Amino acid sequence: MVKKKNINKNVLIWHWGRRGGGPKYTLELSRELLKFNDFNLHISISRQSELLDKFEDLNLKYHFQVRFLNPKYHHLLNHYLKIY
C-alpha cells in the first residue's frame, strides 16, 4: 500500500490583469505547476480576464476570482485609497 503524502505547502499565483501577455503567462505557469504533486496550487485571477474560461478548464480546487469596478471609476478609487 502506498501512503499518500500529506501536502502542507501552498503556492499562490496572483494575477489580476485582464488582457495581454500577463494572463497568458499566468495560465501557462499554472499549467506547468499542476504537473507537480507536492503542494496545493491556489490561483487568484480577474473575472474580466480574457482567458477566464481557460483558467476554469484547469479545474483547480483553490480558484478565486476577483471582479473589479468599471475602469472609468478607478481614478475615484485611487484618489481615496492613496497611501501617504
Residue 28: predicted pLDDT: 96
In SS3 terms, the chain reads as: CCCCCCCCCEEEEEECCCCCHHHHHHHHHHHHHCCCCCCEEEEEEECCCCCHHHHHCCCCCEEEEECCCCHHHHHHHHHHCCCC
Domain for residue 22, yes or no? yes
Q: Going by C-beta distance under 8 Å and a sequence separation of 6 or more, which residues neighbour residue 7?
A: 37, 38, 39, 40
Reported pTM: 0.69
Domain for residue 4, yes or no? no
What domain count does the chain have? 1
Write out pLDDT tens, residues 3-14: 456 668 999 998
Q: Which domain holds residue 37?
A: 10-80
Domain for residue 1, yes or no? no
Write out pLDDT tens, residues 5-51: 666 899 999 888 888 999 999 999 999 999 988 899 999 888 888 99
